[in-house]
Structure 1
Amino acid sequence: MFTKEFIAEKVREIRKRYGFEDVHFSIDEVIYDSEDDKLFIIARDRSDKSAIIGNSFVIGKLREKIGAKQVTVYSKLDLLIKEKRIKENIERIKGTHLEFLRPILEAELEFPPRKWPKLRDNGEALVFLSFNARAMVGFAEKAGLIPVKVGIRYTFPKWEYEEIEGSPEDVLFPDEEKLTEIAREKDLKTIISDFPFDLKIKGDIALLNPLRFLHMGFFEAKYFFGFEKPTIFDKNALIDFVVSYVCDGIMESTDGANLIWRGWRK
């Protein structure tokens, strides 16, 4: 339906019309998912990606012009890094109680688009309601796990969950020792939250951040799982949280800046 030449021409038109600098950029591939009405643009490198996104303005206008539900841009390097990490994580879960996640990892190797198999009956997992709580719970459910939700009081007032002691900083940097202790008390082998690492196995308990584990961007997770900002979090920790996600390539700097701006406006 869409060719890379057509998309490139539309991007040039938008950049020219709205006063953006005339820069050269290359598009390697365009993938259209007709089932979900999503367009994926694969740029040659990150500078090409930046030119196409145009501070989010250009890509927003492109989406309006072509009428797609969602338009996302990746660089070839983004996808190569993702592929490398996914393959490494397939090896890491071999022989562990997380081996049931292999079909999801293998599906991610075919991304884009994202088409996960339905997994069922994989037991329970402790899910700490951190900043990306929707993604954490959503991942657990799609992985065939029953989420046993715990969180700090008043963080998500509309949700039902077991309240535990903690600080606003924990919402962004979960206390792995405390959560490991709770998991042991509940006889749970998996903990899912916004950990500053992808996967850590401590004895018989696995601590998992699915966004890092799958190298899934914040923007992708927002549209795949949904997003609801917690009512309580530490503003200074938010900056460190955003910087870590941006540095690891799973959050665009513009998305990060927007999160910080909105968080500090409260």
Structure 2
Amino acid sequence: MRDLTPAATPARRPALRRLLREKWLHLLLVPLALLWLSPLIWIVITSLKTNAEVFDQAAGFWPKALNFANYPNTLAVAPFGTYLINSVIVTGSILTGQIVTITLAAYAFARLEFPFKNALFTLFLLQVMFPIYAIFLTNFVTLREMGLVNTLPAMIVPFVASGYGTFMLRQSFRQVPSELSDAARLDGCGHFSILWHVYLPLVKPTLIAFGIISVVTHWNDYMWPLLVTNSESVRTLPIGLGLLAKADSGADWPRLMAGTTLVVSPLLLLFVIFQRRFIDSFMHTGVK
């Protein structure tokens, strides 16, 4: 019987080259994905170690036994349940306020005509040009005069408007054909009806993209909540992690990594559930 293996080998080569041509991007992205995931993997593995294993160079990368007790121990050190609720309230309130303000401001700057519109838009964008740390003192003094220090509104009020979000949405509104709004106006629609029924459905990708940026930014915010709060009842998750890192006996790294896992898990879960919508929002931001 003849051996067909040598003859079959040349026939496989075109198929292999075709596979490489079609999948070369995947071969490039897989190492990059592993590189991006490596800090998350290290955090999760460290959260399952003992404190002795973290500082023992001979212990190796993997823990000898999975120490899941770090998670309930972390929750017992600080009221992370309260921190979680506060983070959800603060992040959700900021996002809701920003969506309302940037939508109205962007529509006005994109489709309405009023005196000094361009000058006002330039002034409005100044907050994008200045770093947020440059206005911390002014915001703090204002909130103190209003009696809002050490309250949840103190972490929400300074961020209910966004110059970046207004600029982003204004550019999307300007890409919507004016014939659509003209037709709606002929049908008797006012500005709010046109905004709701014509513009907003067409700029959903932009709103989703901005929502992702806003949620990630304010969920992870540390400096401003640390400045305006001084009691556990109004603190957020990043502040709780900071308290774990500043313990009198030094940072308990397994517990700190367990707390970090708890903080980033909601965002990762949100991404896993809505990953297709997230990716589409960035790939198709704007109106074609």
Q: One fold, TM greater than 0.5? A: no
Return the structure number with greater strand share. Answer: 1
User: Using CA pairs below 8 Å that are at least 6 residues apart, which structure has the higher relative contact order?
Assistant: 2
TM-score by length of 1: 0.29
Normalized against structure 2, the TM-score is what? 0.28
If each structure's helix is expressed as a fraction of its own residues, which one has the higher value?
2
